[in-house]
A and B are shown apart, each in its own frame.
Chain A
């Protein structure tokens, strides 16, 4: 089993356990490249050894949906199961799918994951192809699993969890809201946002990001996260994780501020995730404490 699969199973099981849930109604994964290591092994064998002696192992675990289905097999989950592979908005698409099903009343809980792996060979290929890792951009891997629910149960363990949180943050949980692009231009909505988490992690992309963010969000402090985890197609999943953790902890670590002048002690109540990916697809996620 490849590392992407091990990490997906580990983060998924931890997240479900942490959420104190027996099972979830839906398992939805975003992955830009899927199980690229196994794909590479199979391609390599195909290219160097020819077509006669190939073994099925790598192929069986090379499709993108291997991740979601393995998590389903491991957690014996027969619920809704889907996988999105759409470049920098793969995780966002998975989140969106869950969001719509929540709105339709179709599901009450969902495990949403963002998973991508990197290999040395693949890193050099991506760099050569101008996809990622150009200039000073750091490439990374993503392994994030989040459990979403319509309800926040007051079970014994949940309140213990709340108590821990209460030290830093009076809220017992945080909410997630996905908003439409047009809502950004509504002053009341915009005023609620404490910080915007965004950025690519390379100079060229970041310049465009910063200019755009300034126009859209005015004086809201800009936060980044890719300097910690690296860029990947599902890096936005780590952005979601970071924002959720900052809201939970009631603070924002200093190195997250893009502009050193903006570093401040803040207890964020609302963070907007702004992912413009490669400039074509824009995704906005609002997380509230």
Chain B
């Protein structure tokens, strides 16, 4: 593909607010993971990577009224987006030509988990109900800065931000937009801290990715956005490329809802696809920013995937999760910013807390390494095997490289056939006779106000059909 320019970025995480603090912490090997301070939870035993501001402090910084409805994920998103827009010199007047794609999974859960019983039993805090969903979070973040041309939300768990970057790149390659701001935001919530704890994948010690003694992950939080831009647009407005997005891949491990396959099939495919799209050989990759969560399972799976793709010549690898904790949905864009800082400043971020090689695993970079970098793979994997990999290149990398996968004419708008369409609803379970119902009556009288697809006559058949389909599942 023809590389896409990154003309701006903004980042917020446990290691700092903004690019400058982030770079300084990365170069100084200073972790932001520590004792839990802000989240109200009983689980004080887990170290976390919290953004070092309370919600109130973030509101103050952004000049948002104390009683205005907002969520921590949106607040962090605003801080990162503010920096990214300023960095790319995008003004409010330009936003109607700019897309905004954000990734999140918890959305407004930080508020819902506090007010849940009020939502059910009372009237208090009901204004937060509409702020629960992921899309609202993106809308709140976007609204502060103006009217974007296009706004949507990716939610693929821990690869959400990486997939937002991929969608933005596809938009630009199709000629649908010249500039798209992409990334993700996610705060720590009691909901997923407890969820991860119930899965027994949280470490009570600082996480140690790719180490023999690794015993789980530390949760983190933060937000980051990249400004993706076509070469023509950047040239026209004199915007400078800070780095290039030269490839990307998305594949599904299709193995288990929360575990990765032992051979890392999804990860392998995602990285391979990124290389192919960029037209690069494995030997040209200078560094891999691994997903490297520090769970026994992920690091085995990801190591296998890297070994399958790179053989015995695996490039320098590190996981930056020990710096920030696992920033879940935002990790794809936060770590993409780390990679760009590494490209710009010629260093490989250290895999902190590593001391002993794991069996069959990669040996990560554990000492500060100054090195000129041209191409970096940045991995982000999510529950359900939603694996994505981004290929970021030095801004000096020739823009004239074209890979065979680019369309001849980006705006050819070929029609697509709809081969089949199926639905299950109150009208009819899984067949097409809804038309009969539509001719004769509007609604069935027993359903006042709420249509359950599963109730009434539909119930038996629906459940049966579903069961038939689910046989043989594991």
Does B304 count as interface, using CB distance less than 8 angstroms?
no
- With a cutoff of 8 Å between Cβ atoms, the chain A residues found around residue B199 in the complex are 56, 59-60
The answer to whether B415 touches A256 (Cβ under 8 A) is: no
* Min CB gap A26→B, angstroms: 9
Does B462 count as interface, using CB distance less than 8 angstroms?
yes
The answer to whether B383 touches A176 (Cβ under 8 A) is: no
Most B CB contacts (10 A, CB to CB) among A78, A87, A245 go to A78
Q: Which residue of B lies closest to A146 (CB)?
A: B421
Q: How many residue pairs at the A-B interface have CB separations less than 8 Å? A: 383
Given known pairs A10-B430, A64-B105, the reply for A103 and B413 (CB within 8 Å) is yes
Does B339 count as interface, using CB distance less than 8 angstroms?
no
Which chain B residues numbered 75 to 119 have a C-beta less than 8 Å away from chain A? 105, 107, 112-113, 116-117, 119
The answer to whether B155 touches A130 (Cβ under 8 A) is: no
The answer to whether B254 touches A72 (Cβ under 8 A) is: yes
Q: Which residue of A lies closest to B467 (CB)?
A: A6
Does B311 count as interface, using CB distance less than 8 angstroms?
no
Q: Give the interface residue-count category, chain A.
A: 35 or more
- With a cutoff of 8 Å between Cβ atoms, the chain B residues found around residue A43 in the complex are 112-113, 116, 191
The answer to whether A68 touches B384 (Cβ under 8 A) is: yes
The answer to whether A83 touches B155 (Cβ under 8 A) is: yes
- With a cutoff of 8 Å between Cβ atoms, the chain A residues found around residue B449 in the complex are 123, 133, 138-139
The answer to whether A78 touches B253 (Cβ under 8 A) is: yes
Does B269 count as interface, using CB distance less than 8 angstroms?
yes
- With a cutoff of 8 Å between Cβ atoms, the chain B residues found around residue A159 in the complex are none
The answer to whether A47 touches B117 (Cβ under 8 A) is: yes
Given known pairs A59-B199, A245-B434, the reply for A141 and B425 (CB within 8 Å) is yes
The answer to whether B418 touches A174 (Cβ under 8 A) is: yes
The answer to whether B443 touches A138 (Cβ under 8 A) is: yes
Q: Mark B166-192, 1 if CB is under 8 A from A, else 0.
A: 010011011010000000000000111
* Min CB gap A239→B, angstroms: 11
- With a cutoff of 8 Å between Cβ atoms, the chain A residues found around residue B386 in the complex are 65, 68-69, 81-83
Q: Which residue of A lies closest to B107 (CB)?
A: A85
Q: Mark A110-147, 1 if CB is under 8 A from B, else 0.
A: 00000000101101111011110100001111111111
Which chain B residues numbered 409 to 468 have a C-beta less than 8 Å away from chain A? 410-427, 430, 432, 434-435, 437-443, 447, 449-454, 462-463, 465-468
Once bound together, how far apart are the Cα atoms of A281 and B138, in whole Å?
12
Task: Give the residue of B384, B413, B416, B430 whose beta carbon is less than 8 angstroms from that of A14.
Answer: B430
- With a cutoff of 8 Å between Cβ atoms, the chain B residues found around residue A19 in the complex are 419-420
- With a cutoff of 8 Å between Cβ atoms, the chain B residues found around residue A21 in the complex are 419
Does B278 count as interface, using CB distance less than 8 angstroms?
no
Q: Mark A141-166, 1 if CB is under 8 A from B, else 0.
A: 11111111111100000000000000
Does B405 count as interface, using CB distance less than 8 angstroms?
yes
Once bound together, how far apart are the Cα atoms of A229 and B151, in whole Å?
26
Task: Give the residue of B133, B176, B269, B383 whose beta carbon is less than 8 angstroms from that of A78.
Answer: B269
- With a cutoff of 8 Å between Cβ atoms, the chain A residues found around residue B450 in the complex are 118, 120, 123, 133, 138-140, 230
The answer to whether A145 touches B421 (Cβ under 8 A) is: yes
The answer to whether A73 touches B254 (Cβ under 8 A) is: yes
The answer to whether B453 touches A9 (Cβ under 8 A) is: no
Task: Give the residue of A15, A56, A281 whose beta carbon is less than 8 angstroms from that of B198.
Answer: A56
Given known pairs A138-B451, A255-B441, the reply for A10 and B424 (CB within 8 Å) is yes
Which chain A residues numbered 2 to 56 have a C-beta less than 8 Å away from chain B? 3, 6-7, 9-16, 18-21, 27, 31-34, 42-44, 46-48, 50-52, 54-56
Which segment of B16-24, B255-263, B340-348 sits at the interface? Answer: B255-263
Does B9 count as interface, using CB distance less than 8 angstroms?
no
Does B129 count as interface, using CB distance less than 8 angstroms?
yes
Given known pairs A7-B466, A72-B252, the reply for A100 and B176 (CB within 8 Å) is yes
Given known pairs A66-B257, A84-B155, A146-B420, the reply for A46 and B250 (CB within 8 Å) is no
Given known pairs A61-B257, A81-B386, the reply for A52 and B42 (CB within 8 Å) is yes
The answer to whether A46 touches B194 (Cβ under 8 A) is: yes
Given known pairs A6-B470, A176-B418, A280-B139, the reply for A65 and B190 (CB within 8 Å) is no
Given known pairs A10-B424, A128-B129, the reply for A86 and B152 (CB within 8 Å) is yes
The answer to whether B441 touches A103 (Cβ under 8 A) is: no
Given known pairs A11-B424, A44-B116, A140-B425, the reply for A175 and B126 (CB within 8 Å) is no
* Min CB gap A17→B, angstroms: 8
The answer to whether A70 touches B194 (Cβ under 8 A) is: no
The answer to whether B156 touches A118 (Cβ under 8 A) is: no
Does A106 count as interface, using CB distance less than 8 angstroms?
yes
Q: Which residue of B lies closest to A226 (CB)?
A: B451
Once bound together, how far apart are the Cα atoms of A82 and B190, in whole Å?
25
- With a cutoff of 8 Å between Cβ atoms, the chain B residues found around residue A256 in the complex are 438
The answer to whether B435 touches A81 (Cβ under 8 A) is: no
Once bound together, how far apart are the Cα atoms of A46 and B116, in whole Å?
10
- With a cutoff of 8 Å between Cβ atoms, the chain B residues found around residue A169 in the complex are none
The answer to whether A69 touches B257 (Cβ under 8 A) is: yes
- With a cutoff of 8 Å between Cβ atoms, the chain B residues found around residue A133 in the complex are 449-450
Does A210 count as interface, using CB distance less than 8 angstroms?
no
The answer to whether B198 touches A103 (Cβ under 8 A) is: no
- With a cutoff of 8 Å between Cβ atoms, the chain A residues found around residue B303 in the complex are none
Does B251 count as interface, using CB distance less than 8 angstroms?
yes
- With a cutoff of 8 Å between Cβ atoms, the chain B residues found around residue A244 in the complex are 418, 421
Q: Which residue of B lies closest to A59 (CB)?
A: B195
Once bound together, how far apart are the Cα atoms of A242 and B43, in whole Å?
49
Task: Give the residue of A11, A96, A255 whose beta carbon is less than 8 angstroms from that of B438.
Answer: A255
Show the binding face of B for A, using Cβ within 8 Å: 41-43, 105, 107, 112-113, 116-117, 119-120, 123, 126-130, 132-136, 138-139, 151-157, 163, 167, 170-171, 173-174, 176, 190-192, 194-195, 197-199, 250-258, 265-266, 269, 382-386, 405-407, 410-427, 430, 432, 434-435, 437-443, 447, 449-454, 462-463, 465-470, 473
Given A129-B126, A241-B423; 11 other pairs, CB 8 A cutoff: A10-B430, A15-B421, A44-B116, A46-B116, A51-B194, A70-B257, A73-B256, A74-B469, A139-B450, A245-B435, A254-B439
